[in-house]
A and B are shown apart, each in its own frame.
Chain A
Amino acid sequence: MREPALIRMLPDGCRLHLHDGPIDLVVEASGSRETVSIAYEAATRRFVSILDELCAELSLLRSQVTRGSRSPNGTIARCMYAAVLPYCETRFITPMAAVAGSVAEAVLQSMIVAARLERAYVNNGGDIAIHLSPGQSYRIGMVERPDRLSFFGSAEVSADGTVRGIATSGWRGRSFSLGIADAVTVLAGSASAADAAATVIANAVDLPGHTGIIRIPAREICPESDLGDLQVTRSVCPLAGSEIEAALDSGAGIASLLVEEGLIDSAALGLQGQTRVVASAQQTPSFDLMQRSLLHA
């Protein structure tokens, strides 16, 4: 039976929580009381039709994108398609790789059209669309494992930079990954671009053929997965330091290419406690990693 969308304020009275099926958004806008309430109303109005809109062309959105393949119709669907298009010639990818970021972007867009906000974000399960008016910034904490809440670093996103989207991908997350990264966090010009890139980079953090990595065809877990028979990661054994380095090298190589092509701003790749940051040589990285001392029992 279809559950209606959940629309409510979180207990702090500041953030809006929107939930419908697999979509779960936390929204926060800053500005005068009145503009914030106008923005929340706009976000809610936009939100309630999103899931039906996406499901209307779900099978197309689950299909591989190739140069010249059919573009979907919906606004969000087209945003997803555009975000994955740069990757389609070199690898298997479907618009679903950018669904979370694209939804966040669409809801954010509805808010900034409706109201003049100081700053705002829409967080779709870790894929975040950001709006900043001049002089504003956000500081974002990064978590490596969704089941353990400890920050391994932070990112500063400010109005004078180009970053307006953040996304994280990894095998421990809700979506399947072909790689072994615990978390790859990407900063990019939009949430949809960050989402697609995080998926691609996380897939590339890998040790092909390693026997300590358990992989299962996606279809065996989720019969209708867009990844079909591709092997998705289910568990990763503890890795040696050199193995971790090798896997991170592989992911960082792809990340550097994406930075060069201007598809992303920067990326932080995390695997079993090691973190690698990739950013263009000309700029100071937006990431700030915490100094951690390891405790041995």
Chain B
Amino acid sequence: MADVFPPDTVRCDACPVLCYIKRGHAGACDRYANIEGQLVRVDPHILLDRAKSQGTPLVPFLEREGDWDGKIMKGQDTFVTAIGAGTTYPDYKPAPFIVSSEIEGVDMVTVVTEGIFSYCGVKLKIDTDRHLGPERKLVRAQGEPVGHVTTAEYGSQMLSLGGVHHLTGGTKSEGRVTCETLLDLCNGKEVELTIEGGATVRAAAGQPPIVNGQREDRMRVGCGSATIGMFAKQWFGKVDDVVVVDDHITGVLSEHQAGKLLGVRETGIAVQGRRSTPGRYFQVAEPGTGWGGTNISDPLTILKPFKAKFAWPHLRLLMVSTTGEQHAYYELDEQLQPVEKELPDGLKESVARIRENCEPALTTVLFMGGAGGSLRAGVTENPVRLTESVKRKLTRVTCGGAPAYIWPGGGITFMVDVTRMPENAFGYVPTPALVAPIEFTLKKDDYALLGGHVNFVRPLLEVLEEKERQRQVGALPQNPWPLKPYAGSSES
């Protein structure tokens, strides 16, 4: 059927209606359109309203009711974001909106554009002790490689997804799925990722990760050894030995320095794995999604038999994971065999304390992209000057009003926490590449100096007149107000 349509008709797959959209027209939803032969989301242009920031949740696109309150906006309390602003690509022409406003007596200019980023990706921090997969292994979505496992950090595993090689360097399907995965993650949606030789993770920005169907609740308070150090005093006298099971470093109270200092009696306990220093063991089991990031579900499997030389009948043993999520209490019988018993009240408290000290486990998503030459050319006729101005902190870079961290070194490579941006701030083009908002705010004088498109600067109040395609949302209270000039020092 498609062949009877003009060649630049696109088929939208954003919903099962699967509209064929002709060039210059929108689909049935009015939200996706065919612009220059490309499928583009055409949501309204988002303005941040500082007055709305107090406790009002963000209102994203698409409230067709039109509850415009008719308020005349005070210019300095409104920031024009790039969300829905449109892009300059592929032409080297001024950015779609270059807006001037006055704040605290200073004339500021904000250059607003939606960048098309083929060089982009997301850095995922998954708070978990569970072993997600070996470093360097591929991360797949819908069967396609979309990234890889990178370093393990304290209590978390980092994943690196996207990047130009997955977006455009592989098969068409790899690029499409990568783009879709990045888009969903950046827009706060959940994606399912499968790690080669490892776990399946369901991740969404700001939400607890779900590893192999199990929701992560808490981050560990420390490694097994550190946990022994922190809780030794609370255990002393209530139990004869404690093993904190951890894939990284398993701790044993009676051997650990902290236990020795308290005078904990030797129990002769013997733990599998490689002893690092007294009371600290590496590799007690294989990595996995069981106790403390190991593959075990029965903690006794990491213990060797108790010897009569040291151990005694009725010896009390607590085994606990680094998050306190798993725990078991044993007493030795006359044959020195551990028998599981109910956890005594005096120990319940310490297990609860471990849990309490574990922070909520989350998935964090940082979008990382580089502002290429054509994007920078939309800001100034001399793109390198923009880079210099950003590096000298004369120009503030924001994404949908959220602060961006700028990497030192060449170019404008930035990272932004997607949960600090308005909802659904990202779009895509089928190139495939992500469309992300980016705003450059600087003093009007500085803008002229760096060769800015000063003839295209429009006063804020004039831009605000074009209400039809705009929508106002509250600014997030945790973000610095983008129009405020830098106070000299760097910001968070």
Chain A residues in contact with chain B, CB under 8 A?
1-4, 6, 10-11, 17, 19-22, 24, 26, 51-52, 55, 58, 123, 125, 146-147, 149, 174, 220-224
Contact = CB atoms under 8 A, between A and B. Distances in A.
Interface of B: 5, 9, 13-22, 25, 27-30, 56-57, 59, 62-66, 68, 176, 180, 183, 189, 468
Contact of B180 (A1, A149, A174, A223): A1
A147 B56 contact: no
A223 to B, nearest CB: 4
6 contacts: A1-B13, A21-B29, A22-B17, A52-B16, A58-B17, A221-B22
B64 A223 contact: no
Contacts of B468: 147
A2 B66 CA distance: 26
A70 to B, nearest CB: 21
A22 B66 CA distance: 17
A222 B19 contact: yes
Contacts of B65: 26, 123
Nearest to A143: B66
A20 B15 contact: yes
A265 B16 CA distance: 35
Contacts, number: 68
Interface of B, helix, strand, loop or mixed by DSSP: loop
Contacts of A3: 14-15
A22 B189 contact: no
B63 A10 contact: yes
B56 A221 contact: no
B57 A11 contact: yes
Nearest to B6: A223
Contacts of B63: 10, 17
A22 B29 contact: yes
Contacts of A21: 14-17, 28-29
Contacts of A6: 62
B57 A24 contact: no
Contacts of A4: 189
The 6 A-B pairs at the shortest CB distance, nearest first, are namely A21-B15, A55-B16, A22-B29, A22-B28, A223-B20, A1-B180
A51 B16 contact: yes
Given A3-B15, A223-B9, 7 more contacts: A1-B13, A21-B16, A21-B17, A24-B29, A51-B16, A58-B17, A224-B20
B7 to A, nearest CB: 13
A155 B212 CA distance: 55
Contacts of A17: 63
A205 to B, nearest CB: 23
A147 B63 CA distance: 13
Q: Which of A1, A2, A174 has the most CB of B within 10 A?
A: A1
Nearest to A221: B25
B22 A223 contact: yes
Contacts of A123: 65
B92 to A, nearest CB: 30
Nearest to A220: B22
Contacts of A11: 56-57, 59
A24 B189 contact: no
Contact of A24 (B18, B25, B64): B64
A67 B424 CA distance: 46
Contacts of B56: 11
A222 B25 CA distance: 8
Q: Which of B20, B21, B27, B64 has the most CB of A within 10 A?
A: B64
Contacts of B5: 223
Contact of B27 (A20, A22, A51, A220): A22
Contacts of A125: 64
Contacts of B189: 4
Contact of B15 (A10, A51, A146): A51
A55 B13 CA distance: 13
A2 B68 contact: no
